[in-house]
Chains A and B, each alone.
Chain A
């Protein structure tokens, strides 16, 4: 039986081309791999090879023909001994019909948002049972305790990073871990972020649960290809067969007087990536409870800490196994006049502003998102439905900020409840300067949060 040779698509975008030159003629015997013709695409002239062996029966498209559509029969290939004259009336190709699967209808938009939703259901349970003994603990100790507890519970958990072992951590977060767990599980790496982020991700594919410490998240830019392309996307690309259960953690955002290359908040960057989870705790209890949840999570988690908060003390419950779930905001302070939403060190400005505003008779509800992906938007919307006003606070830059995402979601989901445009307080749109006075102005300030609240409450 004759085989039709079809006009090939020689690039991802080619729809038609020119049959520039035949390199075989009718009656020629061809083998798989022989070059049959030269075809000009929009980009280049390509050689077109035979796939099957046989005898060139009929050439259907003469050389020099322009605008030959992909999948048009251009020649017929006969098997050895086949009668060539019978090929004249070869049937028309039907391959074209199946070539491009019909464009599927787009799925219906996800639950079109009505103007006035019912108040969303939110989880407002306390983080620990009432009456539990609490201990004043620094964020630094809380992070260490979280890692130690999880390493005791699961041999597959290990920590790697620069200076995490013998030096006890550049910021002393891993103090004591080498002594307890040994050098097999607390591993000093060379200064080679791209490489060790990739090795850790491979180890996660291979069944371990790595914790990767970046000395600061600024250096994770060297490793971001593995965080996003290797760790975050593999579960999807493998159809669910394998993923990367691991934690990338370290200090994020401005410290003090370390200038532009060491002072950047990456919250908005990582928050954008499907496949990643992102936590950014403020308090020590959240640092501990969220890090324990992160280590147990079967997905890659970005855990954004803050150097300035490391030494800050908070109540941490004395419990055998204290965890905080992802996607559950914490309401630090209830209020009626305005909702202030923040996370990480931004909470410091939000809470200070709320204190001062209370003195002026303005009642602010302060929400700590705690995790940015998943993000507890229902708690924000529920609060806005009560206060009708919203201010967001973060240290990151304004364009494409976390606050802009929240503002857009609140506008789409609760527009009718807003009595004023949302104001997003952010760091200034500049690289971080070194000079003390300039640095102070580059960061978001408590006074700016107060001013924003007054703006939305028309005071």
Chain B
């Protein structure tokens, strides 16, 4: 995979690059703010940040069409922002407030949006994989031409239900893109210590599911791969696997000191492969934007995130009656 300065030239438009820059920066700044609010005690429990992995969801959302579905694990803030869910609603859910997307009852790991076709936010490692195939099953049953992006990590890739799902998804030609976000660590266990084969995407071969590895630090590579996968699924050929090689800069959750890797390893990734810096360089080198243009975007994003944080602090805690609602439909 290419180092930062040698990114291949593409014919991507300046507007599109700016959009990628904006969307990835929103996730980055949102997550930094979430970390800050966590440190202040405003966010409790588990909080898994997406910093470093921004290119994965932003690239794949660029390959999606209106009506396509997405489902992921508990590291879900980036996915929600990338599919257009309101940053204030997400942040207010993190602070457990009435204005949160789940009215404060789901928290960081359990958020949903019917409107944006986002089906969670699941706290049990690997559970979202059959659920995502089930969404695709419903789409196929309803013959609506939709595709489901089912995200899971290199850790979840060792759950048995993933392979039960691969089998049925292939057997029934379900229109599902399995996106393995390989950030190289299953909590604190490096991939080499948890996974018998280095290339997880090849595990679909046993079920006849095509797959490929993708540079997950390069949003353009992710988008291109996403388009191939979606075209495959939408044409009725069944599931497709993308193993997107990425990296999380922060610990597994807020309380993870990340002693299982060196500071140099993280710094090297940040300085050489950062997905946002790559797009920033493309914008500047390609004369699509000036430093001042980017400062304007930076300011816009900062304002959005600050507004979200303000909303999440000012929204009241849920009314006590909420304890007893939404148990039965």
Contact = CB atoms under 8 A, between A and B. Distances in A.
A192 B133 CA distance: 14
A236 B327 contact: yes
Contacts of A243: 329
Given A43-B255, A205-B119, A230-B131, A95 B103 contact: no
Contacts of B328: 235, 275, 277, 298-299
Contact of B44 (A12, A51, A71, A204): A12
A198 B131 contact: yes
Interface in B118-133: 119-124, 127, 129-133
B66 to A, nearest CB: 16
A198 B141 contact: no
B114 A241 contact: yes
Interface stretch (A98-106, A165-173, A414-422): A98-106
A206 B42 CA distance: 34
B14 interface: no
A368 B35 CA distance: 54
Given A195-B161, A198-B127, A206-B69, A71 B41 contact: yes
A53 to B, nearest CB: 11
A400 B23 CA distance: 52
Question: Is the interface on chain B under 10, 10 to 19, 20 to 34, or 35 or more residues?
Answer: 35 or more
Nearest to A205: B119
B249 A33 contact: yes
Contacts of B270: 33
A8 interface: yes
A52 B263 CA distance: 20
Question: Is the interface on chain A under 10, 10 to 19, 20 to 34, or 35 or more residues?
Answer: 35 or more
Given A12-B45, A194-B161, A207-B138, A234 B120 contact: yes
Nearest to A32: B32
B168 A199 contact: yes
Nearest to B132: A202
Given A195-B168, A202-B134, A11 B255 contact: yes
A372 to B, nearest CB: 15
Contacts of B212: none
A200 B134 contact: yes
Nearest to B316: A101
Contact of A230 (B38, B96, B127): B127
Interface string A183-219: 0100001101011111111111111100000000000
A316 interface: no
A195 B257 contact: no
Contacts of B104: 239
Contacts of B137: 199, 202-203, 206, 208
A85 interface: no
A200 B135 CA distance: 9
A122 interface: no
A239 B105 contact: yes
B39 A241 contact: no
B74 to A, nearest CB: 12
A194 B325 contact: no
Closest 4 CB pairs of A and B: A202-B134, A198-B130, A195-B164, A206-B138
Interface of A: 6, 8-12, 14, 32-33, 35, 41, 43-49, 51, 70-71, 95, 98-101, 104, 107, 158, 184, 189-190, 192, 194-208, 225-226, 229-230, 234-243, 245, 274-275, 277, 298-299
19 contacts: A8-B39, A12-B255, A33-B270, A51-B35, A104-B317, A107-B320, A190-B167, A195-B164, A198-B127, A202-B136, A203-B135, A203-B138, A226-B130, A238-B112, A238-B326, A239-B106, A240-B326, A241-B114, A299-B328
